[in-house]
Chain A
Amino acid sequence: MSEPTVYELSSEGRFSITFPTLDIPETKIPDDLLREDVPLPELSELDVIRHFTNLSRLNYSIDEGFYPLGSCTMKYNPRINEVTARNHGFANTHPFQPVETIQGNLAVMYILQEWLKEITGFVAASLQPAAGAQGEFVGSLMINAYHKSRNDNHRTNILIPDSAHGTNPATSNMSGFDIVNIPTDNRGNINLSALTEVCNKSTAGLMLTNPNTLGLFEENVLEINDIIHKAGGLVYGDGANLNALLGIVKPGELGFDIMHINLHKTFSTPHGGGGPGSGPVVVAKHLADFLPEPIVGIIEEGDDEIPPLYGFIYPKKSIGRMKSFHGHFSIIVRALTYLLMQGKDGLLEVSNHAVLNANYLMSLLKEDYTLPFDRICMHEFVLEGVWKDIEGIHALDIAKRLMDYGFHPPTNYFPLNVKEALMIEPTETESKQTLDRFVNAMLSIAKEAHETPDLLTKAPHNTPVKRLDEVKAAKDLILCCRVSDKRE
């Protein structure tokens, strides 16, 4: 039996929370302004608690088990982050309070800006972007603004490798650029000669994910960035895979001009079932003036006794504001909590173990699954989810069968330059025992694929629902329920 919706659970006249009785003289509200009915459900507090508790039990989560979802960095979400973010001193501050009453918030933002700059090797940061995709949008708008500020008005092309996230081309489209695709070579790197060929005066920039979405470090990164710069373009670094690089290398020192950072991947803030995340942007010196406003700076230096006075700074040539207010502040609090605990050595250990775990899994799986690029990987790797000797088994079937073994599937069908891709990212917070259990499941599935393929094609078998009819959903378009849906 499925869990009823809040409308189906509703019972006319029922209510839960009450409010204090009004103790002021009341004003008559003009009738022509009033609505007749507010069509919301009527439930008791226990109805609500049970309903959402029941819903939560239909979810898989990091708390339940291993979540090797490539490019998503599903690491453990430390509970202390949730405690510090909920401190009333942070949570109950209004974005328009006078600056002297929000010095703690501004200090948090300033310190995080400084940490992110140091970790990535850039000179300026803005914490405003709401998510990685918005950070990307900031990056491409800044590329646009930078060229225009130099009266270099004919740079219309953005170069994007074929392994890139879908957000990269979509972002470029939003920013008015034409997209030029760059193929991957046989080692999983950008094809250098193809890149050189398309680089010219119309090149605005390159969007480069490094490590790329195959989990491979771009071996020619210095040459690539050099080629783009010589053509007058800028290099945007997609920071989705930063978890491999902490203390290992600073992207700013590799020649990147801009990068976004996903606090919800690398710095342990929760994914929340799909947001809210946070996508700060860090930049090299020549782009600092273009950052989205506002950013936090020190207005008056402090000394041994008096702390500095923090305030908002509006960069001179800013591309503007990306959203209302100052960024996803409570996510910023969580990320800073995590960073303070890790410190410089802890960060290096994060990447060391993220990469160790990925290579360990890859070593144990590459005999039974095809590994298209057999190199040392970084924090993730991509397998093919098909076998030459079996027909009718796809990456999707492997993914669904993994659920029966109690694991979240890897990212599948991405990147697009690997057929039937299974993209596996274990993260550093998983133990050898968990990885070994996952390997056993994967090997067992490979065996099943050959011997009892039905177990895969009909999977999952033990989940709250079986495979769902997506065509029906798109055809019927039942997108909401109403009061009239109440069950008798």
Chain B
Amino acid sequence: MFIPHTDKERQAMLRTIGKDSIKDLFADIPESKRFPVLDLPEGISEMEAYKQMSMLASANNSCDEMISFLGAGAYHHYIPAAVDLLLLRGDFFTAYTPYQPEISQGTLQAIFEFQSLIANLTGMEVSNASHYDGATAAAETCISSYYHFRKKRANIIISPFIHPHYIETIKTYLQAIKEIEIRIPDISKPVDFKDSIRQLVDKNTALVMVQYPDFLGNILDYSSVSSFVHENGALFATVVYPMALGILKSPADMDADFIIGEGQSLGLPLNFGGPYLGFFTTRRELIRKISGRIVGETEDEDGKRGYVLTLTAREQHIRRGKATSNICTNQGLNALAVSIYLSLLGKKGLKEVAYQCYQKAHYTASQIERINGYKVLNEQDFFNEFVIQCPSDVMEIQNNLLEKGIIAGYNLESDYPTRKNQLLIAATEQNTREDIDFFVNSLREVTIV
């Protein structure tokens, strides 16, 4: 399949090489291991493959067929048709990494614009070309901070209200650097979370990382934490849900040194969790310390504006064993999708979507609070996600709602054992009033108090 050679051409090529058969090209391979049997099916036609894959897809119930209030790091936003249709241009998706800038200006300028849009949205000075996802961007932030202080500061303090997968990923990434200690404030005791972060900061702290809005949806002002961290000479990072920045103040106003996060909400389909995109922004003075590809503007020999990969001396193909990250891609096509999405929505559109997310979540919350036994637990204002306390077994509630075609949010107990029967509920612009009312009424019906 997809091999153009005719018998005649094959024979002519073998004659040029001076071999009788293709098999003769594999003489370097140990004979006892050569040409193993593959216990796999025969190939099928495109038509059959299409049908087989469609069958598999139809074994799912997608968010199109159900009413979903799931968020927890991945959000079901509407993606304008133009985004995907532009991505399908072969000039974009069948190109490689832009190592040859003269014939890659499309990709390079698109990345430059991605960096610009993200830097403007977050209010930060510089952005890189992206990491794999929000979790790995968070892990790379920890590593960059450790090396920024030349390994002299080895404590990294992470809020327990960062996405649990991000915390797990950070632990995985840092497991081999023995010197680093990851500290997570103990939330089993009822102390103010900002105070508990302050208690852990000392002269050995490299980085403090929080999330905005946090995993439970709360919008916190971290200004005081940030200044305390800076007084102690450490760096301050915030994981951000970028859609929220359509209306909310950016943590750049709280003097964050890094703003990173998951770019999925900006034009990428849910895709069962990937591929997404980790955006990564920082202050200009830290640019040489961060990992990941960066595009810069320059000129060609005739003085014409153009773009190139820059500061490559940080990267693995130059620094090899001295590089602090091995990343050698960005999420190219997904960064392009984000650029197209943000260009289409623009100033007005993004504000509108963010506003609707906020309003729909608040409407949902206020309606749920009216049900006997339910309570919204957020003490701060929230953006589009909030926690409810259910009066009875949450798995039973979820199962009963699933039968009605509703995915009723994310059960928090697996990540926070003390949070029994609590659901994290997210709403986006795609949840209609009808959906929300049906959800709330169904919740009332399935709850036996």
29 pairs from A and B in contact (CB 8 Å cutoff): A10-B346, A18-B352, A38-B350, A40-B342, A48-B86, A55-B105, A61-B91, A91-B270, A91-B271, A97-B407, A105-B272, A136-B326, A144-B176, A169-B320, A170-B316, A221-B30, A272-B336, A274-B332, A321-B135, A323-B274, A324-B262, A343-B41, A353-B3, A465-B300, A468-B300, A474-B310, A479-B294, A479-B296, A483-B120
Which residues of the partner chain A approach B250 to less than 8 Å between Cβ atoms? Answer: 35
Q: In the assembled complex, which residues on chain B have CB atoms less than 8 Å from the CB atom of A217?
A: 26, 28-29
A291 proximal to B (CB < 8 A): no
Q: Does the CB pair B80–A17 fall under 8 Å?
A: yes
Chain B residues, CB < 8 A from A77: 90, 93-94
Contact partners of B120 in chain A: CB under 8 A? 39-40, 480, 482-483
Q: Taking the complex as formed, is B38 at the interface, i.e. its CB lies under 8 A from any CB of chain A?
A: yes
Q: Which residues of A contact B28 (CB under 8 A)?
A: 216-217, 219, 375-376
Find residues 330-385 in chain B having any chain A CB closer than 8 Å to their own CB. Answer: 330-334, 336, 339-340, 342-353, 355-356, 358-360, 362-363, 366, 381
Would A34 and B30 count as touching, CB distance under 8 A?
no
How close is A221's CB to chain B, nearest CB, in angstroms? 7
CB within 8 Å for A84 and B3 given contacts A41-B343, A253-B36: no
Q: Which of A69, A132, A324, A337 contacts B96 (CB 8 A)?
A: A69
Docked CA distance A38–B50 (Å): 43
Is B95 touching A94 in the complex (CB atoms < 8 A)?
no
Bound CA–CA A86/B268 (angstroms): 12
**A325 & B331 in contact (Cβ 8 Å cutoff):** no
How far apart are the CA atoms of A177 and B115 in the complex, in Å?
33
Interface residue A346 (Cβ < 8 Å from any Cβ of B): yes
Given A222-B30, A466-B302: A87 in contact with B346 (beta carbons within 8 A)? no
CB of B287 within 8 A of chain A?
A: yes
Binds A, one of B65-73, B153-161, B183-191, B202-210: B65-73
Which residues of chain A are within 8 angstroms of B10 by Cβ–Cβ distance?
A: 356
Given known pairs A98-B398, A130-B274, the reply for A103 and B113 (CB within 8 Å) is no
B446 at the interface (CB under 8 A from A): no
Counting chain A CB atoms within 10 Å of each CB, the highest count among B44, B89, B273, B322 belongs to B273
**In contact, A469 and B298 (Cβ under 8 angstroms):** yes
Q: With an 8 A cutoff between CB atoms, is A134 at the interface?
A: yes
Chain A residues in 8 Å Cβ range of B330: 274-275
Within 8 Å of chain B (Cβ to Cβ): is A62?
Answer: yes
A95, B109: Cβ atoms under 8 Å?
no
List, in ascending order, chain B residues with CB within 8 A of A2's CB: 304-306
**Cβ–Cβ < 8 Å partners of A369 in chain B:** none
Q: Is B449's beta carbon under 8 Å from chain A?
A: no
With known contacts A84-B53, A174-B324, A271-B332, A74–B96 Cβ distance under 8 A: yes
Nearest-CB distance from B92 to chain A (Å)? 5
Measured between alpha carbons, how far is A350 from B119 in the docked complex, in Å?
A: 44
Q: With CB as the reference atom, state the residue of chain A lying closest to B143.
A: A174
CB of B406, distance to nearest CB on chain A (Å): 11
Contact (Cβ within 8 A) B121 A97: no
Q: Is B448 an interface residue (CB 8 A)?
A: no
Complex partner residue of A352 from B22, B68, B105, CB under 8 angstroms: B22
A77 to B253, CA, bound (A): 44
B165 and A325 contacting across the interface, CB-CB below 8 Å: yes
CA–CA, A78 and B90, complex, Å:
11
B391 interfacial contact with A, CB 8 Å: no
Within 8 A of A (CB), among B62-114: 62-64, 66, 68, 70, 72-74, 76, 78, 80, 82, 84, 86, 88-98, 100-107, 109-110, 112-113
Name the contact of A465 in the complex, choosing from B135, B269, B304 (C-beta under 8 A).
Answer: B304
A82 within 8 A of B: yes
Q: A216-B28, A222-B30, A340-B41 are in contact. List 4 more A-B contacts (CB 8 A).
A: A45-B344, A78-B2, A320-B172, A478-B297
Q: In this assembly, does B150 line the interface, its C-beta being within 8 Å of a C-beta of chain A?
A: no
| Cβ B98 vs Cβ A274 within 8 A | yes
Residue A302 lies at the interface, judged by CB distance under 8 Å to chain B: no
Q: Which residues of chain A come closer than 8 Å to B48, judged between CB atoms?
A: 340
Nearest A residue (CB) for B13: A360
Q: Is A455 an interface residue (CB 8 A)?
A: no
In the complex, the chain B residue whose C-beta lies closest to that of A411 is B99
Q: Check if B400 is an interface residue, CB within 8 A of chain A.
A: no
Contact: B270 with A95, CB < 8 Å? Answer: yes
Q: Select one of B90, B91, B136 contacting A322, CB under 8 A.
A: B136
Residues from chain B with a CB closer than 8 A to the CB of A272 are 92-93, 95, 332-334, 336
- On chain A, the residues within 8 Å of B52 by CB distance are 340
Binary contact readout A456-479 vs B (1 if CB under 8 angstroms, 0 otherwise): 000010011111111011101111
Most A Cβ at <10 Å: residue of B80, B299, B322: B299
Q: Which residues of the other chain, B, contact A62 by a CB distance below 8 angstroms?
A: 90, 94-95
User: Given the complex, which residues of B lie within 8 Å of A170, measured CB to CB?
Assistant: 316, 319-321, 323, 325-326
Q: Does B168 contact A (CB under 8 A)?
A: yes
Kindly provide the distance from the CB of A19 to the nearest chain B CB, expressed in whole angstroms: 5
Would you call A421 an interface residue if the criterion is a C-beta within 8 Å of the partner chain's C-beta atoms? no
Whether A101 touches B247, Cβ cut-off 8 Å, given contacts A175-B176, A217-B29, is no
Complex Cα distance, B100 from A67, in Å, reads: 12
The 8 closest A-B pairs by CB, nearest first: A325-B273, A343-B43, A89-B57, A95-B273, A272-B333, A63-B90, A104-B59, A320-B172
Complex Cα distance A83/B331, Å? Answer: 20
Indicate which residue in B4, B334, B344 contacts A17 across the interface (CB closer than 8 Å).
B344
Contact with B along A40-53 (1 / 0, CB 8 A): 11110100110111
A248, CB-defined interface residue at 8 Å: yes
* Max chain A Cβ within 10 angstroms of own Cβ: one of B16, B253, B295, B316: B316
Least Cβ distance of B140 to chain A in Å?
10
Neighbouring B residues of A100 by C-beta, 8 Å: 402
Docked Cα-Cα span, A217 to B33, in Å, equals 13
Q: Is B171 positioned at the interface, with any CB of A under 8 Å from its CB?
A: yes
> A270 vs B392: C-alpha distance in the bound complex, in angstroms?
48
Closest to A310 in B: B59
Say yes or no: A271 contacts B74, CB within 8 Å.
no
A428 within 8 A of B: yes
Contact flags (1/0) for A255-284 with B, using CB distance below 8 Å? 000000000000010111111111000000
Beta-carbon contact of A61 and B308 below 8 Å: no
CB <8 Å contact, A119 and B166? no
Question: Contact at A86–B104, with CB atoms within 8 Å?
Answer: no
Contact status A93-B343, CB under 8 Å: no
- Closest B residue by C-beta to A430: B4
A352 to B141 alpha-carbon distance, docked (Å): 44
The interface residues of chain A lying within 8 Å CB-to-CB of B331 are 275-276
CB-CB < 8 A to B84: which residues of A?
86
A-chain residues with CB within 8 Å of residue B297 when the two chains form the complex: 473, 476, 478-479
Are A103 and B59 in contact, with the CB atoms below 8 A?
yes
Within the complex, the shortest CB–CB distance from B90 to chain A, in Å, comes to 3
B60 with A101: CB separation less than 8 A: yes
Contact A15 B433 (CB under 8 A): no
- Residues of chain A lying within 8 A (CB to CB) of residue B353: 19
A59 x B273 contact (CB < 8 A): no
Assess whether A355 is interfacial by the CB under 8 Å rule.
yes
B51 to chain A, nearest CB (A): 10
Task: Check if A326 is an interface residue, CB within 8 A of chain B.
Answer: yes
For A82, the closest partner residue in chain B by CB is B88
**Other-chain contact of A363, B16, B34, B351 (Cβ < 8 Å):** B16
Complex alpha-carbon distance, A2 and B82, angstroms: 23
CA distance A19 to B349 in the complex (A): 8
What's the nearest-Cβ distance from chain A to residue B242, in Å?
Answer: 11
User: Which A-chain residue is minimally distant from B34 (CB atoms)?
Assistant: A249
Chain A residues in 8 Å Cβ range of B246? 38
Which one of B125-133, B193-201, B228-236 is at the A interface? B125-133
Residue in contact with B402 in the complex, picked from A25, A101, A144, A352, CB distance below 8 Å: A101
Most A Cβ at <10 Å: residue of B14, B176, B350: B176
Are A67 and B96 within 8 A (Cβ)?
Answer: yes
Asked if A324 and B73 sit within 8 Å, CB to CB, the answer is yes
Chain A hits for B178, CB < 8 A = 176
Residue of B nearest to A1 (CB): B304
